Amino acid sequence: MSDSLIPSLSDGQVGSRFVTEHEIDSARARRDEQWKAAYARLGQEPPPQQQEDAVYDGRSLAEKLAANRVAKQEEWEEKNKLANQFRALEEDEIMFLDSIREKQEEEERIRKEMDGEELKSFREAVAARTSTTNNAPPVISPPQPAPVPSKPAAKPAVSAKKDPKKSLKGLIVKKKAKPAAAATTSEKAPPANKGSSPADDELPSAKRRKVSTT
């Protein structure tokens, strides 16, 4: 095979794709100069550039995407942790909370002072009352007269109305003497006046009997 049939690296498409290391370094230097000139016009310092020398990674594209997804998930969980949900207080918030705390402490101090004064006055009043009670002279009460025994009240007599018929039951009622018996007794009795008048002697016997019976 002749040398004319072998393609040269400098000819055609193969030769145009080949880049030497010197060209790469010169291109990097020009880019750095342009980068610095742009920030110099803005009056700022250029940020540090990342290293372009990347380590060779033999993983496939799917593995790289999965690794990036896992890294993003871990970063999101780290941000949403309970400890990361609290933020630091600002200066005005700290001053406001301090003022509230000082106000509460002042109110608590005043309340304790008032309670202490009330308790002190109460103890003094109790001590004064106790000393007055202990030093007071004994009160001598005058002798009281002995109580007079009261007489028992007389019971009222029970006036029982008795039936006259029941009270007379069993009694013997004597009958009155007849007039004849009375006449005999009068005849037996001696005359009251011995000297009777002659007129009385002249009265008929019937009339004399009548008078004697009367």
At a CB cut-off of 8 Å and minimum separation 6, what does 200 contact? 208
Phi, psi of 10 (to 5 degrees): -80, -15
Please give the pLDDT value at position 21. 81
Q: pLDDT tens digits for 48-81?
A: 766 555 566 778 889 999 999 999 999 888 888 7
Longest dimension (CA), the chain: 248
Q: Domain locations in the chain?
A: 11-46
Which own/partner contact pairs does 182-190 have at CB distance under 8 Å and 24+ positions apart? 182/213, 183/212, 183/213, 186/212, 186/213, 187/212
| Most confidently modeled range among 11-20, 93-102, 138-147 | 93-102
Yes or no: say if 7 and 14 are a contact pair by the CB < 8 Å rule. Answer: yes
Q: Are 45 and 39 in contact (CB under 8 A)?
A: yes
Mean pLDDT, the chain, whole residue set: 72
Q: How far apart are CA 96 and CA 103, in angstroms?
A: 11
